[in-house]
Amino acid sequence: MPDRVRSAAFADELREAPDLVDHVFRALVPSNCQPHSKGSGTMRTSISGSSSARRGIAAAMVAAALLATAACGDSGNEPAVAADGDEPTSGDKPTSETQPAGEMRDVTVALPVPLGLFWSPYIIAAEKFYPEMGINVDLPSVDGSASVAQQIATGNAFAGSVSVRETYAARAAGGEVMAIAAFGRGLINRVSVPDDSPIQSLADLKGKAIGVPSASDGSVALVKQLMEEAGISEDEYEIPAVGAGGPAVAAAFDSGRIAAYAHGLSDIPALKVNAGMTLRSLMPEKYQALPAEGFVVSEESMADPEDREVAINLVRGYFLGAWFLQEHPEEAKEIVCGVIPSDCTDDEYVNATLELVSEKFAPEKDGKAGAFDYENIQILLDMTLGEALTVPVEEAFNGKFLESINDGLLEQAGA
């Protein structure tokens, strides 16, 4: 059996991109797992192993130093851009039959944070679905969504998962990249209180303290934005750093040090399992349906028939992995924990986290997997970028390939 994820050297190809605010996406894993400083080192994770040994193989975590400047593409080759991002013709529909028998395509899909439980759909796809599509996938991490977009733009990564804000920012800055499918639903970051708290809205936080995982965490920007919208100035509340979700946060609530906590999805099961605390979100209704992230590729790749097929199959495999997690949770957990056993030491936490991933990242089986909600994308961009919108949203989030992504996908999931 082929390796599920390529382990070829990748670190030397990565270059550090400008450090942009990435508050929507950095909460995918606990704060203590995230890189917080520019040049602090990039974690690269690959999954590999035969079907007979995969349960016992852990993902290798290799530190690679980032260079000070971003890499440039080959100036001698102008990228070929598909006219208007046209939908592929019927001859371009993705099928594993077009891949010569025994030939595998090595592909790098960059992640903004290290591989963990929240990337379970990719891990499951790498074990069960990508090999059937002729794909070996490598899943290195770089320092945030902005860096992922940079690696794609410069050709150092084939594709990647990128927050909505940084997808648009990269496109607006002239990067020839675009999202071809949406992953996840509901804003990943949120401000919450204990379920039994008397606080009912953000306005009730005037004069109180809102805890954050760390002073450099992306949730700080979210708190400031939300409080400004609630008509509360920065001198009317505090933002103390209280650590990632767990006993320390529960203690901060119990002692009265904080009245609310700004956090990511990963903190919800962590607090419930490790501290017995259930959180209640204070997020306004308009933020409940905001998109989480997108699958981003270069225009040049989508203009090339072979690359386009690979990109579409990568998205299809992700959705198949998410549905498999939803419908076969025990087998999915066995696959995921066989690859990243260090993340699976607490069974209760693993179950709670995978349930949350399934809830947030498995799309509806309505034939519209990956569809962009342009209205909510616009709301999110207005919130995070304000007046800096200089290109049409549809250029950064191209829905013209969704028909190919969904063509036969439900039948494949059923099989």
In the prediction, which pLDDT does 165 show? 86
In the prediction, which pLDDT does 97 show? 43
Amino acid at 375: E
- Sign for the pseudo-dihedral over CA of 368, 116, 19, 211: positive
Class of the 190-286 domain? alpha beta
In the prediction, which pLDDT does 222 show? 81
Class of the 11-186+291-414 domain? alpha beta
Contact 412, 312 (CB under 8 A): no
Q: What pLDDT digit, counting tens, does each position of 344-392 carry?
A: 999 999 999 999 999 989 999 999 999 999 998 988 888 777 666 899 9
Of 394, 377, 393, 396, nearest in space to 24 by CA: 377
Instruction: Read off the DSSP letter of residue 15.
Output: B
Put simply, whether the predicted model's pTM sits higher than 0.85 gets the answer no
Per CATH, 11-186+291-414 and 190-286 having the same topology is answered yes
In 84-109, which positions are buried (b, 16+ CB within 10 angstroms) versus exposed (e)?
ebeebeeebebeeeebeeeebbebbb
Percent of the chain at pLDDT exceeding 70: 73
Contact 196, 187 (CB under 8 A): no
Tokens of 112: 């903004």
Alpha carbons within 13 angstroms on the beta-carbon side of residue 41 total 7
Q: What pLDDT digit, counting tens, does each position of 328-353 carry?
A: 999 999 999 999 999 999 999 999 99
In the prediction, which pLDDT does 102 show? 63
Q: Which residues of the chain have pLDDT under 50?
A: 1-46, 48-98
Q: How far apart are CA 120 and CA 159, in angstroms?
A: 17
In the prediction, which pLDDT does 194 show? 95
Domain boundaries, the chain: 11-186+291-414, 190-286
